[in-house]
Amino acid sequence: MNIRKFWTFVVAAVFGSFFMVAQGIAGGINVDGSGIAIKGYDPVAYFTKGAPQRGKNDITSEHEGATYRFASAKHKALFDANPAKYAPAYGGYCAYGVAQGYKVKIEPDQFKIVDGTLYLNYDARVQSTWKKDIPGYINTADNKWPKL
């Protein structure tokens, strides 16, 4: 990552963190002001459809203080049976951001499933950087996450 991209990310992380705290998004799970995780996207769809899919307002489950929405009752049942399998890594915060030591918002369409775990990223540019060393960033994020 060149120096300009690095500082752009740092500024985004700092202001993004401030914005998230102001909206009540801070904490262990990345939720909006209403407590909705993954901006209302269905976590199971990433695995079953291979793509993000909006969840429905009336098909939800609570997990670790967050509300997850689902596109179908079948997806809800799968999640309820094993939430740890479907909930995104690092509470749904940007995987690259966590590797850098920050809780940063995500875009639901910037994702990758690695070894059965859903990882989300801030945006396409950050994801392209993250993809250059996925195992390294995951290792670093795994070590930093407990302290965040």
Instruction: Locate the domains of the chain by residue range.
Output: 3-147
Contact partners, residue 4, CB within 8 Å, separation at least 6: none
pLDDT in tens, 3-22: 665 555 555 554 454 444 43
DSSP 3-state of 70: strand
Mean pLDDT of 83-101: 97
Nearest to 61 by CA among 89, 93, 98, 86: 86
**pLDDT (average), residues 55-74:** 97
pLDDT of residue 26: 41
24-44 residue pLDDT tens: 444 589 999 999 999 999 999
Q: For the segment 108-138, what is each residue's pLDDT rounded down to a tens digit? A: 999 999 999 999 999 999 999 999 999 999 9
Q: Please give the residue that has the higher pLDDT: either 63 or 2.
A: 63
Angle at 92 between CA 35 and CA 27, to 5 degrees: 55
At 96 the pLDDT is 98
